[in-house]
Amino acid sequence: MVTLRQLPHELLGDPEFLRRFRAEAQIVAHLDPTYVVRTRAHMEDPFGLALISDYVEGAALRLMLPAVTAGNVEAALVVARDVLLGLETAHREGILHRDLQPAKIVVDRHGISRVADLGLVARTPSRRWLPGTPEYLAPELWAGEPSSIASDLYAAGCVLVECLTGTPPYEGGLAQLRDLHAAGAPPVQDLPPEVARMVSIAMARRPEERHARAWDFAQDVEEVGRALAGTGWERRGRRHLAAHVALALFPRGGDDEPPRGLIGRARALRRTRG
């Protein structure tokens, strides 16, 4: 099972993106898939670019927010830890994400979060497009500096805040977001002190003040999880996520037991169409 997806035609007009994507695609295809959705192959012609990626039976984190994780520290920390381990897998091979956000994180039916769309952000020579999504964009990227491990970790800190609160750290128009990311204080006042300290490091204005690696950030998440919720925090958080993914995959629309597995759902779909 794989996922086939066509990318916007505009990407063919971005030579920088195409050069980087072609160079990185083979590396991404061979990453450890535990916390990463791999791009297995791509097809390119004058009409567009299509990706063949791992199929993940799950739901995008964006569709689960804020109901699933807001107010549940264990689930939010499990998402953050998995995402950071996925980033570490990519960073070790020289691959940056460049556009980490909840829409590019998939939670599977076991409650494991996987990072998707590694490196799939384009930037035209005219700089018409921002190098990422404004709500998660590190201060240095607004200043025109290149993406880095530090900017990926900043975005991961923003995602963690959204998991905990239900909204991104900052909201508003482009000019307002630029100013807030550049000079605003991280919105940690309503977070537990241990989490607030960790988010403040992740969202530090200067890249060198953030965690050095995604692995270090993930270790910090584990320590905070144990401090706040004890040794079983990860198991409970993952069980919570898995239960909500199951509801997304098998919505209870009636009294019938939902079909189990891919084959069962395919048979049910055929019966519906018939």
Q: What is the pLDDT of residues 26-61, one digit of tens each?
A: 899 999 999 999 999 988 887 788 899 999 999 999
On whether the CB atoms of residues 90 and 27 are closer than 8 A, the answer is no
Q: How confident is the model at residue 272 (pLDDT cuts 50, 70, 90)?
A: very low
Residue appearing with tokens 């975005």 = 155
73-91 average pLDDT score? 98
What is the pLDDT, as a whole number, of residue 10? 74
In a domain, 252, yes or no: no
Give the global pTM: 0.88
Q: How far apart are CA 65 and CA 68, in angstroms?
A: 6
What is the pLDDT, as a whole number, of residue 47? 75
As a whole number, the mean pLDDT across the chain is 88
Digit-coded pLDDT (tens) for 154-184:
999 999 999 999 999 999 999 999 999 999 8
144-150 average pLDDT score? 93
In a domain, 162, yes or no: yes
In a domain, 259, yes or no: no
SS (H, E, C) the chain: CEEEEEECHHHHHCHHHHHHHHHHHHHHHCCCCCCECCEEEEEEECCEEEEEEECCCEEEHHHHCCCCCCCCHHHHHHHHHHHHHHHHHHHCCCCCCCCCCHHHEEEECCCCEEECCCCCCCCCCCCCCCCCCHHHCCHHHHCCCCCCHHHHHHHHHHHHHHHHHCCCCCCCCHHHHHHHHHHCCCCCCCCCHHHHHHHHHHCCCCHHHCCCCHHHHHHHHHHHHHHHHCCCHHHHHHHHHHHHHHHHHCCCCCCCCCCCHHHHHHHHHHHHHC
- Structure-block tokens of residue 146: 């290149």
Residue appearing with tokens 């584990």 = 222
What is the pLDDT, as a whole number, of residue 125? 54
Q: Residue 161 region, left (φ>0) first, then alpha (ψ -120 to 50), else beta?
A: alpha
Closest CA to 132 of 143, 145, 147: 147
Percent of the chain with pLDDT over 90: 69
70-86 average pLDDT score? 96
Residue appearing with tokens 């905990």 = 164
What is the pLDDT, as a whole number, of residue 115? 98
CB atoms within 10 A of CB 19: 10
Closest CA to 159 of 169, 150, 174, 147: 169
- Cα 13 to chain centroid distance, Å, stands at 26
- For the chain, what's the residue count? 274
On whether the CB atoms of residues 24 and 95 are closer than 8 A, the answer is yes
In a domain, 37, yes or no: no
What is the pLDDT, as a whole number, of residue 18? 85
| 69: CATH | 1.10.510.10
In a domain, 202, yes or no: yes
- Structure-block tokens of residue 62: 């964006």
In a domain, 173, yes or no: yes
What is the pLDDT, as a whole number, of residue 122? 66
What is the pLDDT, as a whole number, of residue 127? 54
In a domain, 8, yes or no: no
Could you give the number of structural domains in the chain?
1
Query: Does 253 score more than 70 pLDDT?
Result: no
Digit-coded pLDDT (tens) for 96-143:
999 999 999 999 999 999 999 998 876 655 555 567 899 999 999 999
In a domain, 93, yes or no: yes
Range of the domain at 207: 58-241
Which residues is 4 bridged to in the sheet? Answer: 52
Closest CA to 85 of 242, 201, 231, 216: 216
Q: How confident is the model at residue 251 (pLDDT cuts 50, 70, 90)?
A: confident
